[in-house]
Amino acid sequence: MSRNRKRSFSYQERYAVWSCNDQRCWICGQPLRLIDTHVDHVLPESLLWNEEERIRVYELYSLSEDFNINGFENWLPACALCNSKKGKSVPEFVPGHVNRLRKLIRDAGKTQQVAADVKSNVTKDKILSVVFSALEQQKITMSDLEEFLISIIKEPEKAGVPKDVIILDSGVWKKKGDIVREGYCTCDRNTCVGKQEKVYCYFDAQLSEWVVTTGLFWRCYDEVVACPRCGDEHIRGHIGRRDYCDNPYVDQVNQTD
């Protein structure tokens, strides 16, 4: 690879990285739509052209020589701003970043398989190919795409969405059989964070039992509040949660005393 040529990502790779990593920017934690997702190298690509620094960083993170800087074990979704700010910097050596890399290494095969599955799924592959190509060639705009997606959400069956599918707020499709809880957000207000009304929420089986039990819209879950139990400020979703709240619920499963 040329020193001045950065890795370009296929739409299958971008989809897999986004889909397998919580659909959030790994740096700021904000949810991402697929179309807004940038693929970030956790350890910067510039290490490929600086052997001395690469060896130092590999030793620092206890990485084997076969660790692939340009592989799924080193890619995470990021928003444009965070990706730009991070640039070529090596992440601070802290337990969180070490654990993140270990998880990526462990799950790299699964993420790669998702990309392969998309490529083998002719219908999905063609859709993603057309959308990304049209955006890059400026044949359509984000506004055009957003308008189309809104129409799908409002009248999904007319747009060809199967009857057994629910489109979540993030744009992710889930089969109705995978939904373990649904209903209006359980926050104590008439409107949800960033919304003009209460949000009707769906919770799928892949979420943790704690998140499902809270029944909170994700923005309300992440909202920093003065905890009514311990008095400290932390996110609403951690009220009464052991290891986060200083006055945890006695019954952690049902989130009650």
The string of DSSP letters for 19-83 reads HTTTTB-TTT--B--GGG-EEEESS-GGGGG-HHHHHHHHHHTT--TT--TTSGGGEEEE-HHHH
- Tell me whether residue 255 is in a domain: no
Residues 29 and 114 in one domain: yes
Residues 91 and 176 in one domain: no
Residues 120 and 166 in one domain: no
Q: What is the DSSP letter of 89?
A: P
**Residue 48 CA: distances (Å) to CA of 6, 43, 176, 223:** 10, 10, 45, 40
* Low-confidence residues of the chain: pLDDT under 70: 1-5, 123, 136, 149-162, 167, 169-172
- Tell me whether residue 63 is in a domain: yes
Six token digits for residue 94? 């802290």
pLDDT for res 159: 57
- Tell me whether residue 46 is in a domain: yes
Q: Facing residues of 179 across strands?
A: 204
Give the CA angle between residues 79, 201, 167 to the nearest 5°.
Answer: 65
pLDDT for res 1: 42
Instruction: Tell me which H or E stretch contains 15.
Output: helix 11-19
Residues 106 and 163 in one domain: no
Residues 113 and 157 in one domain: no
d(CA 131, CA 123): 12
pLDDT for res 11: 83
Residues 122 and 15 in one domain: yes
d(CA 124, CA 133): 14
Six token digits for residue 162? 């199967």
Domain boundary among 127, 154, 177: 127
Single pTM value for the model: 0.55
Residues 119 and 150 in one domain: no
Residues 215 and 170 in one domain: yes
Residues 117 and 203 in one domain: no
- Tell me whether residue 240 is in a domain: no
Residues 29 and 85 in one domain: yes
Amino acid at 29: G
Six token digits for residue 7? 């890795």
Domain that holds residue 146: 141-222
Residues 196 and 148 in one domain: yes
- Tell me whether residue 253 is in a domain: no
d(CA 186, CA 208): 17
Contacts of 253 (CB under 8 A, 6+ apart): 209, 213
Number of folded domains that form the chain: 2
- Do 214 and 255 meet the contact criterion of CB atoms below 8 Å apart? yes
- Tell me whether residue 66 is in a domain: yes
Six token digits for residue 191? 């409107």
- Do 145 and 135 meet the contact criterion of CB atoms below 8 Å apart? yes
Residues 172 and 79 in one domain: no
